[in-house]
Chain A
Amino acid sequence: MRDREIDEILKQAAQAPHDVDPAVLDRVAGSIGSTLGPVRPLPPAWVLAGGLVLICVSVALAGAARLGLYGIQKLSVLETALVFPMLGVLICLAAMAFAGEMIPGSRRRVAPGFLLGAGSLALLAVFAVLFRDYRTERFVSQGVACLTAGLLHAVPAALASWLLLRRGFAVNSIAAAVAAGTLAGLAGVAMLELHCANFEAPHVMLWHTAVMPLCAAAGALLARAARR
Chain B
Amino acid sequence: MQPDSDLEMLMSRYQRGDFAAATALIHRLSPQLHRFFVVQFASRGDADDLLQETWMRIHEVRHTYRAGEPVLPWFYAIARHIRVDHYRKARRTAAREERLEEMPEVAAVLPARSGGTPDLEALLAPLPQSQREVIEMLKVSGMSLEEVARATSSSVGSVKQKAHRAYETLRERLSGERRIKGRTGGAS
- A residues adjacent to B (C-beta < 8 A): 1, 3, 5-7, 9-16, 18-21, 24-25, 27-29, 31-33, 35-42, 44-45, 101-108, 167-169, 171-172, 175, 227
Residues of B near A103 (CB, < 8 A) are 64, 66
Residues of A near B155 (CB, < 8 A) are 108
Contact of A107 among B16, B55, B66, B149 (CB under 8 A): B149
In angstroms, how far is the closest chain A Cβ from the Cβ of B179? 11
Q: Provide the B14-38 mask, 1 if CB < 8 A to any CB of A, else 0.
A: 0111010011001100111011001
Q: Are B70 and A105 in contact (CB under 8 A)?
A: yes
Contact of A11 among B48, B67, B139, B174 (CB under 8 A): B139
In angstroms, how far is the closest chain B Cβ from the Cβ of A16? 5
Contact of A104 among B81, B120, B146, B171 (CB under 8 A): B81
Residue of B nearest to A44 (CB): B66
Q: How far is the CA of A14 from the CA of B32 in the complex (A)?
A: 10
In angstroms, how far is the closest chain B Cβ from the Cβ of A18? 5
A9-B174 CB under 8 A given contacts A32-B22, A171-B80: yes
In angstroms, how far is the closest chain B Cβ from the Cβ of A196? 36
- Is B10 at the interface (CB under 8 A from chain A)? no
Q: Are B76 and A105 in contact (CB under 8 A)?
A: yes
Contact of A10 among B52, B59, B66, B135 (CB under 8 A): B135
Q: How far is the CA of A41 from the CA of B12 in the complex (A)?
A: 9
A36-B174 CB under 8 A given contacts A13-B120, A21-B48, A108-B150: no
List 16 additional A-B contacts (Cβ < 8 Å) besides A31-B52, A167-B64, A168-B64. A6-B171, A7-B139, A13-B118, A13-B120, A15-B117, A27-B52, A28-B52, A39-B62, A42-B64, A103-B66, A104-B77, A105-B70, A105-B73, A105-B150, A171-B80, A171-B81
Residues of A near B19 (CB, < 8 A) are 32-33, 36
Residues of B near A168 (CB, < 8 A) are 64
- Is B175 at the interface (CB under 8 A from chain A)? yes
Q: How far is the CA of A45 from the CA of B30 in the complex (A)?
A: 28
Residues of A near B64 (CB, < 8 A) are 41-42, 102-104, 167-169
Q: Are A105 and B74 in contact (CB under 8 A)?
A: yes
- B residues adjacent to A (C-beta < 8 A): 15-17, 19, 22-23, 26-27, 30-32, 34-35, 38, 48, 51-52, 55-56, 59-67, 69-70, 72-78, 80-81, 88, 113, 117-120, 123, 135, 139-140, 146, 149-151, 153-155, 167, 170-171, 174-175, 178
In angstroms, how far is the closest chain A Cβ from the Cβ of B58? 9
Q: Are B139 and A14 in contact (CB under 8 A)?
A: yes
Q: How far is the CA of A27 from the CA of B150 in the complex (A)?
A: 29
Q: Are B74 and A104 in contact (CB under 8 A)?
A: yes
Residues of A near B66 (CB, < 8 A) are 41-42, 44-45, 103
Q: Are B23 and A29 in contact (CB under 8 A)?
A: yes
Residue of A nearest to B170 (CB): A6
Q: Are B123 and A35 in contact (CB under 8 A)?
A: no
Q: Are B55 and A28 in contact (CB under 8 A)?
A: yes
Residue of A nearest to B176 (CB): A1
